[in-house]
Chains A and B, each alone.
Chain A
Amino acid sequence: MQDEPTPHEILGSVITFLRDDVQPQLSGYSGFQMRVAINAIELVRRELAVTPAHRMELNAMLVALLAREGSTADLAAEFSRRIAERQIDPQGPAVERCLWALTDAKIEVDQPKYAGHLRAKAMRAAAK
């Protein structure tokens, strides 16, 4: 148990410092690289913010689908293998739900504002 503030909060301060104090002083190549670095820290910060409950939810979904226990990484590998070996039908509603859940979990950390993701969310909301 560490003292506070949390890594999430500390990285927030790092991002503010880089964006507001450092970035304006840079241009060209360094400016571009600083933008990439800020994006990278933001990504890590989002990943740190994923709750244990959400991780459990993904694991439970895979456990239910594959009818076996395991780590999420192992289960995802098993899920991939069964799709490739045609033991699982990708058109099954539970399979589709699981694919969306895995995909959403990744993009929400990597690039939550990705235009293709926003479009997918809007299309799925409209279909409901």
Chain B
Amino acid sequence: MSKVVGGKCARRFGGVARGRGNGNTTGKARLAGESMASEAIVLDEEGLSRTADRMLPSGGRLRGLRMLSGGASQETWFFELVEAGDGPVHRLVLRRAPGGCYQHATAAGLEVEAAVIRIVGRNGIPVPTVRYVLEHGDGIGRGFVTDHVDGETIARKILRDDAFARVRPTLPAAFGSLLARIHAVPKGELPQLRLTGAAATLNILRNEVRRLDMPRPVFEVAIRWLEDHMLDDREPALVHGDFRLGNLIIDGHGVAAVLDWELVHLGDPMEDIAWLCATPWRFGAVDKPVGGLGTREDLFASYEAAGGAIDRARLRWWDVSSALRWGVNCAAMVAQYRDGTDTSLERAMIARRASENEVDLMRLLYLGD
């Protein structure tokens, strides 16, 4: 039985590369709150090969299997299927639970994720076509196979490389119309998803803050602000949950695909808008709130032109909760570093970035932005 070793989870933390790249050169952390194993990651190539005729009607010979990234919450593998007699080559991607089976509590689940991708695809959102959802009998874990989509996901490259100079100014508006379309996907078509509005989000954050070892007065001030400005319930919409550079494939024309639907849920659409504009996702370009690319005005105008409605008061609540969410994720890494879950230097250094989020929260709460 041949198995392909993809690398060690811990070593690959932070590596999010699809399309190109070797998956370990970006310093930006994946959204965490996720646990990870340090063992070598292994995928049974023969097991994957046996599912080929369910991925494509023609079936095909598997070749070139390699790991693109071993994210904390999902593994991504690239491979090709060659049709019989050296026929057409299909480039495919397997997204799988780490080690085949681990799943974080807030993740929708890979089968649900695949179902959502198919539905939003039918509603005009650019996503990779889902070819096959792994079944228990396949014996290679939980996950799904999609077509490979060419383009770039690494934020640093999208923000700085000349190849994206022409497309960069168009992205904030593209994000706005895409988000409006995601938020308008008819709920009747969707599988059952967790419902997490403002109140549930605050409960999660409060519990996580209280679990931290270090006292964090700034986080406590943020919790109080969120309590004092609690939002009322609205009719929930489909929320992507992690819409930002790093999770979008960008090519020379714009957004080629929206990836990483693992945190998909029903909730307040303003959550996605705020998360996209959160300071960590500006990648150093703090004066460009939309992903380090442009202005909120461009984003809001295109969101509303595509049928969405921006609610600034609600957005502000989600701005604060987004900063706190990322801060709590960083701070929680101290425990993961110490208990041996991930003893990498990178993890230690990301844990020390919780102070950045305290600065962001202080700015939001006392200076407006």
Binding site for B on A (CB under 8 A): 28-29, 32-33, 35-37, 39-40, 43, 73, 76-77, 79-81, 83-84, 86, 90, 96, 98-100, 102-103, 106-107, 110-111, 114-120, 123-124, 127
- From A28, A99, A127, B217 is in contact (CB under 8 Å) with A99
Check if B319 is an interface residue, CB within 8 A of chain A: no
Q: A32-B27, A79-B215 are in contact. Are A84 and B224 (CB under 8 A)?
A: yes
Give min CB distance, B205 to chain A, whole Å.
13
Inter-subunit contact A73/B22 (CB<8 Å): no
Check if B286 is an interface residue, CB within 8 A of chain A: yes
Check if B221 is an interface residue, CB within 8 A of chain A: yes
**1/0 per position for B205-237, CB-CB distance to A under 8 A?**
000000000011111110111000000000000
Distance A23 CA – B303 CA, assembled complex (angstroms) = 45
Task: Please report which residues of chain B, range 275-311, place their CB below 8 angstroms from some CB of chain A when the two chains form the complex.
Answer: 279, 282, 284-287
Inter-subunit contact A86/B362 (CB<8 Å): no
Q: A116-B359, A123-B363 are in contact. Are A33 and B286 (CB under 8 A)?
A: no
- CB-CB under 8 A from A107, the residues of chain B are 355-356, 358-359
16 A-B contacts (beta carbon < 8 Å): A40-B345, A73-B215, A80-B220, A83-B221, A90-B224, A99-B217, A99-B362, A100-B366, A107-B359, A110-B355, A111-B353, A111-B356, A114-B359, A115-B285, A116-B360, A118-B286
Q: A33-B346, A40-B349, A80-B215 are in contact. Are A120 and B359 (CB under 8 A)?
A: yes
Inter-subunit contact A119/B218 (CB<8 Å): no
Check if B187 is an interface residue, CB within 8 A of chain A: no
- Report the nearest A residue to B279, measured CB to CB: A116
Check if B1 is an interface residue, CB within 8 A of chain A: no
Give min CB distance, B221 to chain A, whole Å.
4
Check if B105 is an interface residue, CB within 8 A of chain A: no
- From B215, B356, B363, A77 is in contact (CB under 8 Å) with B215
Pairs of residues from A and B, 8 with the lowest C-beta to C-beta distance, nearest first? A77-B215, A106-B355, A80-B215, A83-B220, A115-B286, A90-B221, A76-B215, A110-B355
Q: A37-B345, A84-B223, A96-B366 are in contact. Are A32 and B284 (CB under 8 A)?
A: no
Inter-subunit contact B353/A110 (CB<8 Å): yes
Distance A35 CA – B27 CA, assembled complex (angstroms) = 10
Distance A111 CA – B346 CA, assembled complex (angstroms) = 15
Check if B352 is an interface residue, CB within 8 A of chain A: yes
- CB-CB under 8 A from A32, the residues of chain B are 24-25, 27
